[in-house]
Structure 1
């Protein structure tokens, strides 16, 4: 199943107040795993960059001065995402901006199904922080390069978070799984079996003998049956 991890950077919070998209990042995933295909678009917003927004993503008006306008890249963006679901952290924010930009460019609104990872995370971890940095810490995902918010960088992190939210990798296919399990349990290579970290030895399974009276009763029951399977 093809899905698109998507993120945007903007000049502010509300397109209805004249704020615009300045960066779009997209990453293709198939069966929850990145395929290596991505798209990064910087867009001239035709307006100034507020100081507050610059402190978040570090994208300046000077950097965007020679970048294309949204109508010039919209077809490339739409071709990349196709009609596949869009995986977005806080989907209402990005979808509102994208649909506003599409409307101003004379294009119809997106019909792609949005998958909001904020909602998924809140269902899994009620009461816990679910921003991207918090989820990276929870899943031990390295986000040390995230000094600024960046659409494509955040897509890369969100792809890893999304994989974990969906259940993580199938460790059963890891050829080194037994070695990893041995390290976790403290198993030794001597063949004596695993030794738990508590230091207590694991007892071998004990045989459970059937009492003689139960064997007799069982045989008596078989005598009442016609050609019982248990005697073949």
Structure 2
């Protein structure tokens, strides 16, 4: 099954009030295995960046001044998303912004039936605990040392690892062969051509057998003698 793990960075928290997406990062997974395909883009928000938002993600007006508008990248983003389920942390927030941007482009919204929220999953499985992305990374041993500020692609990469743990862990299904085949098909790459080697013989030589018998002969009252039939 193909799934997209994604995250957004924005100018604020209210898309209906004029806040906009300034960054999106997406990770493709097939059967809970990352394929290596990613989508990442920055967008000019067509408005100024509030200092509070810049303090969170570090994206300034100057940095975003030469970035494309969302509508200029909408086609390639929608193509990458396809019809896959979309996984996000506090997914209602990200879906609200994504669908607002699509509406401003005159596009249909993404159905909420495709929404998978890891925050809801974490609250259900660990009631009473902390459920921020940082807290979940700590709980599952996911390295977040590079997360100095929020970043859509980095956060999506971290969330992909957290999502694996929330859905059964790294041993899920134990179907490694099937998963590798699915990844190869999804990424349109040929299977790796590995040389076939004959099995090496694994038997003791005459010299090794002789040394073993000499060693056994030196043992006094070995345990297994208790179980040998009387002669």
TM-score category by the smaller chain?
0.7 to 0.9
The match for 1:118 is 119
Query: How high is the TM-score relative to the length of structure 2?
Result: 0.73
Q: Are 1:30 and 2:30 matched, yes or no?
A: yes
* CA deviations over 1:98-131 (Å, ceiling 9, x no partner): 1111111111101260100001101110000111
SS of match in other structure, 2:19: coil
The match for 1:230 is none
Q: Distance in 1 between matches of 2:69 and 2:143?
A: 33
- Greater relative contact order (Cα 8 A, min sep 6): structure 1 or 2? 2
Deviation at 1:17, TM superposition (A): 1.3
Matches within 5 A, 1:35-50: 35-50=35-50
Q: Are 1:86 and 2:86 matched, yes or no?
A: yes
The match for 1:13 is 13
5+ residue gaps, structure 2, are 177-231
Q: Distance in 1 between matches of 2:74 and 2:53?
A: 23
Q: Distance in 1 between matches of 2:138 and 2:62?
A: 34
Would the aligned equivalents of 1:2 and 1:85 in 2 still touch at CA under 8 Å? yes
The match for 1:212 is none
SS of match in other structure, 2:83: coil
Deviation at 1:173, TM superposition (A): 7.8
Query: How high is the TM-score relative to the length of structure 1?
Result: 0.73
Q: Distance in 2 between matches of 1:14 and 1:31?
A: 34
Q: Distance in 1 between matches of 2:33 and 2:123?
A: 22
Q: Greater Rg, structure 1 or structure 2?
A: 1
Provide the alpha-carbon RMSD of the alignment: 1.4
Deviation at 1:164, TM superposition (A): 0.3
Deviation at 1:170, TM superposition (A): 1.4
5+ residue gaps, structure 1, are 175-232
Matches within 5 A, 1:144-159: 144-159=145-160
The match for 1:161 is 162
The match for 1:141 is 142
Would the aligned equivalents of 1:33 and 1:159 in 2 still touch at CA under 8 Å? no
SS of match in other structure, 1:34: strand
Runs of 4+ more than 4 Å apart: 171-174
Count of residues in correspondence between the two structures:
174
Q: Distance in 1 between matches of 2:55 and 2:156?
A: 19
The match for 2:183 is none
Q: Distance in 2 between matches of 1:157 and 1:76?
A: 23
Deviation at 1:42, TM superposition (A): 0.3
Q: Distance in 2 between matches of 1:136 and 1:103?
A: 34
Matches within 5 A, 1:52-63: 52-63=52-63
Q: Are 1:127 and 2:128 matched, yes or no?
A: yes
Q: Are 1:75 and 2:104 matched, yes or no?
A: no
SS of match in other structure, 1:87: strand
